[in-house]
Chains A and B, each alone.
Chain A
Amino acid sequence: MHIPNGFLDPKTSAGLLGAAALVMGFCVAKVKEAVTALQPAAALAAAGNGAKNVIGGMKRVLTGDGERTIYKIGMVASLIFAAQMFNFPIGGGTSGHLIGGVLAAVILGPFAGAIAISVVLLVQMLFFGDGGLLALGANIINMAAIGSLACYYLYYYLKKIIPEWLAIGTSAWLSVVLAAFACALEIGVSGSIPLAIIILAMVKVHMVIGLAEALITIGLVNIFRLTAKE
């Protein structure tokens, strides 16, 4: 679902780039807060770190757990990058591939999950030409913000009322369908295709691809939990 350059008009592209920057900035702030701890500057100065502000100043320091978390986010991002390389045919001359938004969010939480997906999208765009630079904002909103961050909350509340594997599968399926809907909306308002037509077409094909996403996500969450136990 990576939108290439040329599908979006300048206004849509710019607006979504801005929105993506805001959302991801927020996610980065949230994760930074989670992986660091405040330490009084005086204590730091005593430890030899040369704090600049001694009067009641606080500095943010990376904690041991925080560092491990950052590596964990990197690991999950690389797992998703690898998994996204698998294209599977779904019939009708179409193939699908994993997005991994809910996978990332279930393992890492909503904010780190969105970051993981965004990093994957960035690397894919820069190094593999997958998705255009102008469409990066749209792709991040669709697959990281909607596909990971928003759908995490779907998973979170669903698992209170249904078994977790079902909550994972359902939110994974929905993440693909909702991302496809947003994608269609963005392309539709950018050009000459009637909204109803493109939305219908995108949602239809992605309801099928979403089934694969659901199954793969459930499987990979379990594999990850088993692998990461050691």
Chain B
Amino acid sequence: MKKVFWLAVVIAVLASFFASIKPDGLDVVAQKLGFANKAIKNQGLMANIPAPLAGVLGLVIIIGLFCLVAGRLKRH
């Protein structure tokens, strides 16, 4: 399982460099059909953190969450 985690870290770091900034399917349709202006986008808590670090932090948060859950279930 540890190998899967490191694979995820590598993917996350690579992805943050190679991420295409073109709009995704929904964005493109929204622009084409004219409802894109309705979007109220929020930046999220990681807005000012550099992308690769933010990506790895996201990984850590997710795994941390599941460790918490396992810990709570064990205590019962």
Instruction: Using CB atoms and an 8 Å cutoff, list the residues of chain A in contact with chain B.
Output: 1-7, 32, 35-36, 59-62, 66-68, 70-79, 81-83, 85-89, 92-97, 119-120, 123-130, 132-133, 180, 183-184, 187, 191-193, 197-198, 201-202, 205-206, 209, 223-224, 227-228, 230
B25-A83 in contact (CB<8A): no
**Measured CA separation A205–B32 after assembly (Å):** 12
A95-B8 in contact (CB<8A): no
A129-B8 in contact (CB<8A): no
Q: How big is chain B's contact interface, by range?
A: 35 or more
Residues of A contacting B21 in the complex (Cβ-Cβ under 8 angstroms): 87, 95
A230 to B, closest residue via Cβ: B3
**Measured CA separation A144–B18 after assembly (Å):** 26
B25-A79 in contact (CB<8A): no
Overall SS of chain A's interface: helix
Measured CB to CB, the closest approach of chain B to A16, in angstroms, equals: 16
A87-B38 in contact (CB<8A): no
Residue interface bits B2-35, CB-to-A below 8 A is 1, else 0 = 0111011101101110111111111011101111
Overall SS of chain B's interface: helix
A74-B29 in contact (CB<8A): no
Instruction: Using CB atoms and an 8 Å cutoff, list the residues of chain B in contact with chain A.
Output: 1, 3-5, 7-9, 11-12, 14-16, 18-26, 28-30, 32-35, 38-47, 54-55, 57-59, 61-63, 65-67, 69-70, 73-74, 76
A191-B73 in contact (CB<8A): no
Query: B20, B21, B29, B57 — which one has the most chain A CB atoms within 10 A of its CB?
Result: B29
